[in-house]
């Protein structure tokens, strides 16, 4: 289910407690947003292309809140980066880096599981969010209107695993079909 033309997909950085603590410990006053532009939108089963300037990619399986519709599974891929001072455009905005599942549920999911080559590498719970979903949407909506069809990615699990070319990555969100994609060399 690629988002409709004109929709926006917003990611939220530092919204899992352990990740925020590891990197700063200081609660951002407003949600730390980044945009997943349309060139990044990708689908279940499609290849994730490893850029020539990267060796590993972070596989931040997460939950996407589709405004007015429900919840989807997302694999929010990026080139790993430690600095959050400047927007990570080069690390995040590569073609096909935001895989959005096609199935939507209206039951709030509670858990994200990320596996690489069949091995479970990360479990994350929505109980560990810095800003829970309702608060997150309200805090974003204070300055930026979320329209039906826009998607908000609730956060990157703090121990999101890294993958290399050849790896198969599976993201499971409870209540939704898994999404699975392979990393291939560019």
Partner 1 sequence: MRRARVAYAGAIHHMIEGDSRLLSGNPVVWLPPVEPGTIFALGLNYADHAKELSFKAPDEPLVFLKGPRTLCGHLGQTRRPSGVTYMHYECELAVVIGKTARRVTKADAYDCVAGYTVANDYAIRDYLENYYRPNFRVKSRDCATPIGPWLVDKADVPDPMNLRLRTLVNGKVTQEGNTRDMIFDIPTLIEYLSGFMTLEAGDIILTGTPEGLADVKVGDEVITEVDGIGSLKNTIIGDPEEYAHVG
Beta carbons of 155 and 139 less than 8 angstroms apart: no
Structure tokens at 111: 């858990």
Residue number, 69 or 168, with CB nearest to partner 1: 69
- Other C-beta atoms closer than 10 Å to the C-beta of 54 total 16
CB of 48 to partner 1, least distance (A): 14
Residue number, 40 or 115, with CB nearest to partner 1: 40
**Among 50, 49, 74, CA closest to 151:** 74
Residue number, 5 or 127, with CB nearest to partner 1: 5
Residue number, 33 or 108, with CB nearest to partner 1: 33
Tokens 């930026």 belong to 144
- CA triplet 89, 93, 99: central angle to 5 degrees? 145
Query: Do the strands 48-50 and 179-185 form a parallel or antiparallel pair, or are they unpaired?
Result: parallel
CB of 159 to partner 1, least distance (A): 20
Question: What 3-state class would DSSP assign to 26?
Answer: coil
CB of 93 to partner 1, least distance (A): 5
Residue number, 38 or 168, with CB nearest to partner 1: 38
**Cα–Cα distance for residue pair 69/78, rounded to 1 Å:** 26
CB of 38 to partner 1, least distance (A): 6
Residues in contact with partner 1 by the rule CB under 8 A: 6, 8, 10, 13-14, 24, 28-30, 32-35, 37-40, 51, 53, 84-90, 93-95, 143-145, 147
CB of 35 to partner 1, least distance (A): 4
């Amino acid at each position: 289910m690629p988002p409709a033309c004109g929709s926006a997909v917003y990611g939220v950085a530092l919204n899992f407690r352990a990740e925020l603590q590891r990197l700063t410990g200081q609660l951002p006053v407003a949600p730390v947003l980044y945009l997943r532009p349309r060139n990044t939108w990708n689908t279940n089963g499609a290849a994730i292309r490893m850029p020539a300037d990267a060796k590993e990619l972070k596989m931040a399986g997460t939950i996407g809140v589709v405004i007015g519709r429900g919840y989807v599974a997302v694999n929010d891929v990026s080139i790993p980066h430690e600095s959050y001072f400047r927007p990570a455009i080069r690390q995040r905005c590569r073609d096909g880096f935001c895989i959005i599942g096609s199935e939507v549920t209206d039951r709030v999911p509670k858990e994200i599981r990320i596996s690489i080559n069949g091995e479970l590498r990360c479990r994350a719970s929505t109980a560990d969010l810095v800003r829970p979903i309702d608060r997150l949407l309200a805090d974003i909506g204070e300055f930026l209107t979320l329209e039906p069809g826009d998607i908000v990615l609730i956060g990157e699990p703090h121990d999101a695993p890294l993958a290399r070319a050849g790896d198969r990555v599976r993201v499971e969100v409870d209540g939704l079909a898994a999404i699975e994609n392979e990393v291939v060399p560019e």
